[in-house]
Amino acid sequence: MRRRIYKDLEELERIAAVALQARAWGKERSPVEMFRELIKRTAIGQRPGESLAEAVARAAGITARQLKDLLCERAQAVGA
């Protein structure tokens, strides 16, 4: 049980580090380039026939529909 917790924590720390890098690159790169780099660095490659959004959702452990809903909610919150 502890081993799994430590493994999950290590993965979260790695993803957080990649997210920090992505934020830093955000002003220099397009969002598409940023997502591609994030997927590449988290060792979750884009599968054949899979959209970039589907790969990002899979990397986050959610469905593509959940990602779309989340992005729509965030866009509405920013626009409000």
The per-residue pLDDT of the chain, averaged, comes to 78
Name the region of 43 (left: φ>0; alpha: ψ -120 to 50; beta: rest): left
| Cα 76 to Cα 19: distance, rounded to the nearest angstrom | 22
pLDDT bucket at 37, cuts 50 / 70 / 90: confident
Residue among 43, 66, 41 at smallest CA distance from 53: 66
DSSP single-letter state for residue 61: T
SS3 of residue 79 by DSSP: helix
Q: Over 90: is that where the pLDDT of 50 sits?
A: yes
Q: Over 90: is that where the pLDDT of 48 sits?
A: yes
